[in-house]
Structure 1
Amino acid sequence: MFFARRSFQNHRLSRGRLHLRHIGPNSEPDTSTERRATKRFRVKLPMTVRWGYRRTVREAQTQSEDISSRGVYFFLPTEIKKGSSVELDIVMVMPHEITLTEPIRIRCHGHVQRAEMKSLNRVGIAAKIERYELLRRNNQAGRRTRRQRAAPRKKVF
């Protein structure tokens, strides 16, 4: 049995390729290699999703299926086109004994990477998070600096 070299396994160019740890005459390649750059956490967090479509803004309540610092996966009853801009308000609910504060609200801005039909009224959406901000109690983002106030705000949709 041939064992792949450790240097090849750790080489940065080998990410996303077939896993070559144990290759034998009758073995199948392991195609389950993780290609994500950041670790995903299977956690269900309540969230509000907003997206634009032909000058109208749509909104839906859902929950995350898994989340990382760069993306989130969730289900919606309708499809959002790949590449569409999305705004996600995520509520990070932690036990009060740990945080000694109320739930943390985060507003994420990003776009849809993938939409896949799972069943009749259930579409899986993978969204890439491009930027985020912490929200105050009244759902407003934190104070903007003088430079940010002088610059025009970019439209999300």
Structure 2
Amino acid sequence: MTTLIDDALDAFIAAITPVTSTTGVTAVYEDRTQAYTHDDAPAINVSLTDAAADVLGDQHPARSVLRTTVQIDLAIYTRSAINAAGQEVSARKLAGPIWAAAHALLMADPSLGDKALRVRWRRSTWRKESADGAAGWASHTYELTLAMRELTLTGP
């Protein structure tokens, strides 16, 4: 048996995976630890970063429902590209269309197939790395709200 958190994360990854066919993303990974290379770009890495719960209603574990907030990081890895004017394109500009496409896929069903009550974007960060040309990460944190049974950690 898996928890609703696991099911929701799997549904989140499944929802954004079609972005690979429309944006040039090479793959969607979960918690990849291997270093990214030039050939991997652009790629998406998804990580579960945090989960917290509050009891809703009844306080007895067999009957109570937890309102659970789950934080998921959707990180887009890019490598520099040269535009028609011979200038390097920023990581932000390279990642922007990928994020927009992934976000649209998530918002097409913000319940993730009834695994979540809601999916909501919360914040973003951008950073650069040195490589054979500029490399960068655009990290977007999403918050999922779930309703779980306290006794089993599955859906209500």
Same fold (TM over 0.5): no
Larger RCO, structures 1/2 (Cα 8 Å, 6+ apart): 2
TM-score computed with the length of structure 2 as normaliser: 0.29
Question: Larger C-alpha radius of gyration, 1 or 2?
Answer: 1
TM-score (norm 1): 0.29
